[in-house]
Chains A and B, each alone.
Chain A
């Protein structure tokens, strides 16, 4: 065993002066129109986590209803509301805003910027989002109840009832998602311009951490694709409230056009969520294997390639629709292409882990767990891309299982990994490892039990969004429901751990994981003024590996 060689990452670390507080001094800051990117990040992350818990409760109710074949817990009407709002909350109130919050917090630290380019716009973005989120939750209390036509909100069903009622659940839902979209566009403008203009000297494109590459790609995608959804929802809002016939087939409109516009955004958006999570994996895995990220440049380019590839795959959501054969086959081929950059990433992480010096801290457990889950999600995704198979399992629980392997088992795992990893930068303290491992075990087992059986149910023909089902499908549904309750319980050790560690955790110091990256040169918690002097970056990213071999070479073309 060689002697311990602590890494000197990027020049001398900055120490927190005894008189200098962290950026977050009292909770009232969260209620203000604050222009500090770290506070905005925290506002996004904390509020979206509360929404995550609400979305999770709705999921528990859905799974409680599906414990038995008959309808016996909720009314059919409320069941439709449950899955609609579960999906909407998890997507628009949890995954997207949490990632925006995380990007807000980390991005400037990672590229050596003092803040984002437009701090006021950034603060405005949060409050626009928050207004939309409250609207969505309030819609539960309208006389007709919240929206109930699925998070796709396909017409004609979505405009069938509540016509002209500006306060119908559907109408408020549309407004809420529109506000969320506007907030996302504000965020995207900020992030893209920050990455383009505010990188520290020496932070060339190929020295950016993969998380920054992911943010650049994902936020550019928001700018390209999100306006299409915004237009789509505005047209639907007009159809619903003012009787325009954009999607009304009886008056010459076309409901299928809505689907094209909807998926033109809503497929790429999956990558807007998952790319930053791939970024998280790419930060954490090298730190806990003590190896540089294998094939960094290929991974960076693979990340960017998603912006192009995923723009041409949306019709695979409509294979079972009235889609001509040539279009089905064309989009099957383009969808298959997604497997290539995804494969590159999985191979790169695997190669980084191979023959490494592994530390299985909680953050790493979540990261590796997420990678394995994503592998399965990718494989079922390729199965779904094959038109003949898709025609069987489309709109069944197979699809529900597949995308929950993406959104819960990969993305939420990745977000937890990120929380355990960067918690010290927010609080100055480490989360407790023991409780973290309990959390991981519950979550990993719970997620698998909940979502794996759904694949089998879907193959057997269990349609999604049904509130009652044939009795012969009960066994796997019971497994899935019990798994879901375990998954629900798994959040408790996390919450306790986070709250207790925030006050009483082990003091972390600047760089508890001996990780590379500019954020680890800063004190924990990060002070309000992050970089007193703009740092100069002299090393390639992920500069792990034998320090005697990897030396900075001034002629390095990075």
Chain B
């Protein structure tokens, strides 16, 4: 190859790799489940960025290796030596500095996004990104909305506007008590004084989950919500999430919790403020009854299987007694 042809080839290859990586970064959104919370959108943005960056590096280096594999083969039995270049200080400095810069960029971006998420749930800074915009839009549209600023402890007015539910509570953020135990979930709504094994929450409002465990480590994980939180016995851990998509999702236990770990799921319903309030009222009138529990059922009626002990090491606790179950 002539020198000029070679350079053109490299430039075209690099351009192709960058375009392909950009496309992969864009496609990365599709590899995720529905982004059902404000937080999920942030996480997906970061992931897309990482896929883009990672693809450039992966495709770049593997292309160089594959190109060499195709073009630099020696003949069989030819043990002559290659080039004698042992080092190139400039090049080595470049390939030390480039990862440093990339890491700095990634860390900075992650810190910024993490700040937006504020998964510790201490205040509503989660609203800063998307909600500040929404607030502005909402204010512009409905100048009559009082209290256009929001501060910790109050849901942003935009959430109320979006939900179009005048009855939405605006003094405190909704808190749902989540109790994990082997192998069931129990959700308590202290304001309405009800319990449920199905997690209901209104759309477009921040919800605080107050997580506790009665026995071992568990994990609170709804893939569509993205943010996961390990639950530690005798600690109460709060996280705040803002669901923005109505629908049915599944809560999984994400930290190995014993024999029936895989069955420790719960249905999650994100619904409009109206139907949420309806649900609360309807459930308040129901007497507490034992909820169906897959782990307990399977324990009571063991399934035949090809291999292994039938006796579980850890028997499920009795199903929770709650006002509402599906």
Residues of A within 8 A of B (CB): 1-7, 61, 71-81, 144-145, 148-150, 154, 156-157, 160-162, 249-250, 255-256, 289-298, 318, 320-322, 324-325, 328-329, 332-333, 336-337, 339-340, 343-344, 346-347, 350-351, 353-360, 368, 371-372, 375-376, 379-380, 382-383, 385-389, 391-392, 394-396, 456, 459-461, 463, 465-470, 514, 540, 544-547, 549-550
Say yes or no: is B221 at the interface (Cβ < 8 Å to chain A): yes
Structural contact, A149 and B256, CB atoms closer than 8 A? yes
Contact partners of B77 in chain A: CB under 8 A? 4
Say yes or no: is B14 at the interface (Cβ < 8 Å to chain A): no
Structural contact, A71 and B232, CB atoms closer than 8 A? no
Complex: how many Å from CA A157 to CA B62?
Answer: 43
Interface-facing stretch out of B134-142, B166-174, B280-288, B306-314: B306-314
Tell me, rounded to whole Å, the shortest Cβ–Cβ distance linking B11 to chain A: 17
Contact partners of B197 in chain A: CB under 8 A? none
Tell me, rounded to whole Å, the shortest Cβ–Cβ distance linking A78 to chain B: 2
Contact partners of A359 in chain B: CB under 8 A? 73-74, 76
5 contacts between A and B (CB under 8 A): A5-B81, A75-B302, A298-B87, A354-B64, A460-B223
Knowing that A80-B259, A392-B228, A463-B253 are A-B contacts, what are 16 other residue pairs whose CB atoms are under 8 Å apart, sorted by A's residue number?
A61-B307, A74-B307, A75-B310, A293-B86, A294-B88, A340-B99, A343-B96, A346-B61, A353-B64, A357-B78, A358-B73, A383-B54, A387-B110, A388-B227, A461-B224, A468-B262
Look across to chain B and name the residue whose beta carbon is closest to the beta carbon of A387. Answer: B114
Look across to chain A and name the residue whose beta carbon is closest to the beta carbon of B69. Answer: A358
Contact partners of B46 in chain A: CB under 8 A? 386, 388-389
Tell me, rounded to whole Å, the shortest Cβ–Cβ distance linking A95 to chain B: 22
Contact partners of B118 in chain A: CB under 8 A? 325
Contact partners of B217 in chain A: CB under 8 A? 154, 156-157, 255
Structural contact, A73 and B65, CB atoms closer than 8 A? no
Say yes or no: is B146 at the interface (Cβ < 8 Å to chain A): no
Interface-facing stretch out of B147-155, B199-207, B233-241: B233-241
Contact partners of A549 in chain B: CB under 8 A? 84
Q: Pick the contact of B308 from A79, A249, A461 — CB < 8 Å?
A: A79
Q: Which of B33, B68, B298 counts the most chain A CB atoms within 10 A?
A: B68
Structural contact, A1 and B75, CB atoms closer than 8 A? yes
Say yes or no: is B303 at the interface (Cβ < 8 Å to chain A): yes
Q: Pick the contact of B110 from A156, A296, A388 — CB < 8 Å?
A: A388
With contacts A76-B259, A325-B120, A376-B58 taken as known, whether A386 is within 8 angstroms of B82 at the C-beta atoms is: no
Question: How many A-B contacts at CB < 8 Å in the complex?
Answer: 332
Complex: how many Å from CA A218 to CA B46?
Answer: 34
Contact partners of A546 in chain B: CB under 8 A? 81-84
- On chain B, the number of residues with a Cβ less than 8 Å from chain A's Cβ atoms is 99
Interface-facing stretch out of B101-109, B157-165, B184-192, B266-274: B101-109
Tell me, rounded to whole Å, the shortest Cβ–Cβ distance linking A140 to chain B: 11
With contacts A389-B46, A469-B262 taken as known, whether A255 is within 8 angstroms of B233 at the C-beta atoms is: yes
Say yes or no: is B43 at the interface (Cβ < 8 Å to chain A): yes
Structural contact, B230 and A459, CB atoms closer than 8 A? no
Contact partners of A360 in chain B: CB under 8 A? 69, 73
| 5 tightest Cβ-Cβ pairs between the two chains A and B | A78-B308, A461-B223, A545-B84, A357-B74, A466-B262
Contact partners of A80 in chain B: CB under 8 A? 256, 258-259, 261, 313
Complex: how many Å from CA A90 to CA B269?
Answer: 41
Q: Pick the contact of A75 from B33, B109, B309 — CB < 8 Å?
A: B309
Complex: how many Å from CA A1 to CA B78?
Answer: 9
Structural contact, B216 and A160, CB atoms closer than 8 A? yes
Structural contact, B233 and A358, CB atoms closer than 8 A? no
Structural contact, B308 and A74, CB atoms closer than 8 A? yes
Q: Which of B82, B84, B226 counts the most chain A CB atoms within 10 A?
A: B82
Say yes or no: is B42 at the interface (Cβ < 8 Å to chain A): yes
Structural contact, A76 and B68, CB atoms closer than 8 A? no
Say yes or no: is B244 at the interface (Cβ < 8 Å to chain A): no
Q: Pick the contact of B252 from A150, A295, A382, A461 — CB < 8 Å?
A: A461
Say yes or no: is B255 at the interface (Cβ < 8 Å to chain A): yes
Tell me, rounded to whole Å, the shortest Cβ–Cβ distance linking A352 to chain B: 9
Tell me, rounded to whole Å, the shortest Cβ–Cβ distance linking A340 to chain B: 5
Structural contact, B262 and A76, CB atoms closer than 8 A? yes
Look across to chain A and name the residue whose beta carbon is closest to the beta carbon of B258. Answer: A157
Structural contact, B85 and A545, CB atoms closer than 8 A? yes
Look across to chain B and name the residue whose beta carbon is closest to the beta carbon of A147. Answer: B313
Complex: how many Å from CA A91 to CA B103?
Answer: 29
Structural contact, B86 and A332, CB atoms closer than 8 A? no
Structural contact, B306 and A73, CB atoms closer than 8 A? yes
Structural contact, B233 and A290, CB atoms closer than 8 A? no
Contact partners of B263 in chain A: CB under 8 A? 468
Structural contact, A391 and B110, CB atoms closer than 8 A? no
Look across to chain B and name the residue whose beta carbon is closest to the beta carbon of A338. Answer: B103
Complex: how many Å from CA A145 to CA B260?
Answer: 16
Structural contact, A389 and B259, CB atoms closer than 8 A? no
Contact partners of B224 in chain A: CB under 8 A? 461
Contact partners of B309 in chain A: CB under 8 A? 75, 77-78, 81, 144-145
Q: Pick the contact of A148 from B119, B229, B313 — CB < 8 Å?
A: B313
Tell me, rounded to whole Å, the shortest Cβ–Cβ distance linking A164 to chain B: 15
Q: Pick the contact of A6 from B79, B83, B113 — CB < 8 Å?
A: B79
Structural contact, A375 and B256, CB atoms closer than 8 A? no
Say yes or no: is B1 at the interface (Cβ < 8 Å to chain A): no
Contact partners of B313 in chain A: CB under 8 A? 77, 80, 144-145, 148, 160-162
Tell me, rounded to whole Å, the shortest Cβ–Cβ distance linking A520 to chain B: 13
Say yes or no: is B50 at the interface (Cβ < 8 Å to chain A): yes
